[in-house]
Amino acid sequence: MNNLIEKQVPKRHLPKHLIIVLVASIILLCLCVVASLAFGARFVSWNELLTGLFHPEIESFSSSVVQERIPRTIFSLLCGAALGVSGALMQSVTRNPIADPSILGVNTGAALFVVCGIAFFQISSAAEYIWFAIVGAMLTAIFVYGIGSMGSSGATPLKLVLAGAATSAALSSLVSAIMLSRTYVMDQFRFWQVGSVGSANWNLILTFLPFLVVGILLAIMTASALNALALGDEVATGQGVRTGMIRLIAAFAGVILCGAATALAGPIGFVGLLAMHLMRLILGADLRFTIPMSAISGAVILTIADIAGRIIGSPGELEAGVVTAFIGAPLLIFLAIRMKVRSL
Amino acid sequence: MRHPLLTVIKQGRIKRRQRWLLINSILFATSLALCCAMLMFGNSYYPPQEIWSALTGNAAGGASFAVNTIRFPRMLAGFFAGIAFGIAGNTFQTMLRNPLANPDILGITAGSSVAALICILIFHTSNTVVSIASVIAGLLTVFLIFILSKGKSFSIGRLILVGIGIQAMLSAAISFLLMRGAQEDIPTALRWLNGSLNGAQLDSTIPLMITVILCAPIVAILGRQLGILELGEESATSLGLNTNQTRILLVLTSVAMLAIATATTGPIAFVAFLAGPIAKRLVGVGYSNVIPAGLVGVNLVLAADLIGQFAFTTRYPVGIITGLLGAPYLIYLLIRMNRKGSL
C-alpha cells in the first residue's frame, strides 16, 4: 500500500526544463518591460528611453513619456502576476482545467460590489475599492461553486463554466441597471469597466502590493498540499493533508488576488487560464513550480496584451482586457474540444 | 363499442388542443394590448381615437409626430424582434434538446452583432447590406460552433462550452469595435451590448418585418417535424422524416430572423432563451411550441420595454429589463438541471 502511494506522489526532483524556462521567462519579462516603456501612442527610441530612466533631472517630452509609462508597466506586471496565480489556484481547487476568475464570474461579482460601493456608499479611494471587490469576489465564488457542484456528478467543468456564465450575466445586468440611473457612477466606473492598466499610479501600486504578497505567499505555502489534492481527496487525506482547510486557504488566496486586481484594473479575463496552461504545458503538473511560474507568465501575458492594445488601438488605446479575451477564448474552445465527453 | 382507453386518449387530445388554442389566443390578445399601450403611452398620453387618426394621416402635428415617427416604429420593431427572437431561440432549444443551447449563450447573436457593427461603424453601408451581412455572420457562427464541437462523438456539453468560448471572443470584438467607433456614444454602446428599441426607425424595421413574415410561417409549418426531431435522431428517421433537410431549413430560417432582428434592435438579452421554456410551460407537451414561443417573445419584449420606459425614474433600454428577468431564471434552470443530473 505504501509503495502504491509513493508511486502516485509527484516526483521530488525538479522539472527538466525549469532552469531554462526560468531564465527564458525572465529575459522575456525584461523585454516586455522595455517594450512597454518604449511603445505606445508615441514611440520612444533607445537613447531617449535610457535618458528618461536614469537621468530624470533632464526635462524633455520623451523622458516624461517614459516616466509616465513606468508605473503603468509595473502595475501591469503585478496585476498579471496576481491574475495568473489566481487562475492557477482556481484550477487546482476546483480540479477543473477551465477555470479563471472571469470564466467563473468572480470578476463580475467584484465589479458589482465596486459599483454598489460607488453608488450607495460613496466610496472613491483605491483601498475602499479593494475591500468591496474582495467581498464581492468571495460571495460570487461561493455562489458559483455552490451551484456548479450541485447534483450527483459533483463540480464538473461544464457545470462550473455554465454556473459562472449565468452568474456573470445576472450580475452584469445588475451592474448596468445601477450604473445607468446614476451618471456620476458611470463616469467613475467607465474608466475601469473594460479592464485596463492605463490609469495606474504609484499610490495604486502601493495599495495593491500587500494583497499581492499575501495572496502569492498563501499560494506557495499551499502548493504542495494542492499537489496531493490533485490525486484525489482520499490520497490527500492519506498523506495527512487536511483537504477542506487547504481548499479554503487556496480559494481565499485566489479570491484576494483576483479581487484586488479587479478592483484596481477592472475585470480582465482569461489571463489566469492562459498563464497556467502555458506553464503546465512546459513544466508538467507539479504545482509547486507551476503556481509561482504562473505569476511570471501571467505578468508577461498581461503586459504583452497591454502593449498590443496600445499598438492596435493607436492613436487611442485598446484595453488590455479586450486583448486577453481575444487570445484567451480560443484556448477555452481548444480545451473544450479536447475534453472527453465523460469528463465534461 | 369503442375501447374506453381510446376515448380517454381522444378526450385528452381534444383537451390539449383546446388548451393550445386558448393559450395562443390569450397570448395574442395580450400582445395586441401591449402594442396599443406602446402607441398610447409616452411623454404624453393619446387616446385610441387620436392614435387612429394619426396613423391614417388625419391628425394634428404633435400627435402625428409622436405616434408615426417614434411610437409606431418602436412598437413594430419590438413586435417583430420579439417574434424573431422567440421562434429562433425555441428552434435551437428544441433541436438541440437543451434549453441552455440558445443563440445568446452559443454566441450566434454576438456573431450577427459583430457583422452589423462592422458594416455600420466602419463601412457605413445601407440597411440591406447590414441585414445580409448579419445573416451570413450568424450562419457562419453556427457552422463554426458545430464544426468545432463535432469531435469523435457529439456532446451537447462540448457544444455549449465551445459556444461560450466563441461568445467571449466575439464580445471582445464588439468592445473593440465600439471603442473605435463611438467612444462617447453610450446609447449606441448600450444598444449593441444589451439591445434597445430606442431610435427604431420605420425604414430600418422593414427588412425585419419582411424576413419575419417570410420565415416565421416556414418554421411554424416545420414545427410538427421539430417536435419529432426532439424525440431523437433515430425515432425521427424511422417516422419518415428527412432529418438533415429539415434541420438545415430550420437553421437557415431561424438564423435569418435572429440575425436581422439583432441588426435592427441589438441583441435583446435573454428573450431567445426565455421564450421557448415559458411557452412550453404554458402549452404543455404534445403540441407545436413555435407559435406560442413567438408570441411569448413579443409579450416579453413589449412588456419589458414598457417597464423600462415607465416603471422607474430612469429610462432603461429593453435589454436591461429582459436581462434582469432572464438571468435569475437561467440560474434557477441550472440549479434544477444540476439537481436532476441532466447536465
Provide the ipTM.
Answer: 0.83
Nearest to B91 by CA among B106, B78, B112: B106
CB-based burial, A228-246: b 16+ in 10 Å, e otherwise? bbbbeeebbeebebebeeb
Residue B183 has what pLDDT? Answer: 53
Task: Note whether B273 contacts A: Cβ–Cβ < 8 A.
Answer: no
Q: Are B101 and B160 in contact (CB under 8 A)?
A: yes
All three cell numbers of B190: 448600450
Residue B184 has what pLDDT? Answer: 53
Indicate the domain borders of chain B. Answer: 21-31+72-340
Q: Name the fold adopted by B21-31+72-340.
A: ABC transporter involved in vitamin B12 uptake, BtuC (1.10.3470)
Domains along chain A with CATH numbers: 64-336 (1.10.3470.10)
Q: Specify the 3-state DSSP secondary structure of B154.
A: coil
A336 and B161 in contact by Cβ < 8 A?
yes
Dihedral-angle region of residue B259 (phi above 0 means left; psi in -120 to 50 means alpha; beta otherwise): alpha
Amino acid, single-letter form, for residue B45: Y
Question: Is cis: bond before A315, omega within 30 of 0?
Answer: yes
Dihedral-angle region of residue A95 (phi above 0 means left; psi in -120 to 50 means alpha; beta otherwise): left
Residue A304 has what pLDDT? Answer: 92
Q: Which residues of A touch B194 (CB under 8 A)?
A: 173, 176
Q: Is the dihedral of CA A212, A215, A221, A223 positive or negative?
A: negative
Query: What confidence tens digit (pLDDT) does each residue in B124-154 have?
Result: 788 788 889 999 999 999 999 988 888 767 7
Name B124's Cβ contacts closer than 8 Å, sequence gap at least 6. none
Query: What confidence tens digit (pLDDT) does each residue in A246-289 have?
Result: 889 999 999 999 999 988 888 888 999 999 888 888 888 788 88
Candidates A156, A173, A187, A191: best to mutate against B (most CBs of B within 10 A) is: A173
In order, the DSSP letters of B308-336 are HHHTSSSPPPHHHHHHHHHHHHHHHHHHH
Name B117's Cβ contacts closer than 8 Å, sequence gap at least 6. B174, B177, B178, B181, B192
Q: How far is B322 from chain A (nearest CA, A)?
A: 9
Dihedral-angle region of residue A98 (phi above 0 means left; psi in -120 to 50 means alpha; beta otherwise): beta
Query: What confidence tens digit (pLDDT) does each residue in B233-280 have?
Result: 677 777 777 777 888 888 899 999 999 999 888 888 889 999 998 998
- How many other CB atoms are found less than 10 A from the CB of residue B24? 18
All three cell numbers of A242: 487536511
Nearest to A305 by CA among A291, A322, A326, A320: A320
Nearest to B142 by CA among B224, B246, B48, B254: B254
Task: Note whether A326 contacts B: Cβ–Cβ < 8 A.
Answer: yes
Task: Note whether A3 contacts B: Cβ–Cβ < 8 A.
Answer: no
B162 and A328 in contact by Cβ < 8 A?
no
Q: What is the pTM of this model?
A: 0.85
Rounded distance between C-alpha atoms, residue A11 and residue A190, angstroms: 48
Rounded distance between C-alpha atoms, residue A213 and residue A14, angstroms: 24
Residue B188 has what pLDDT? Answer: 66
Q: Are B138 and B106 in contact (CB under 8 A)?
A: no
* C-alpha count within 13 angstroms, C-beta hemisphere, residue B256: 20
Amino acid, single-letter form, for residue A300: V
Beta strands in B216-334 (DSSP E): none
Query: What confidence tens digit (pLDDT) does each residue in A95-106 have?
Result: 888 888 888 999
All three cell numbers of A212: 499581492
Task: Note whether B339 contacts A: Cβ–Cβ < 8 A.
Answer: yes
Alpha helices in B56-185 (DSSP H): 61-65, 72-95, 103-106, 108-117, 127-150, 156-181
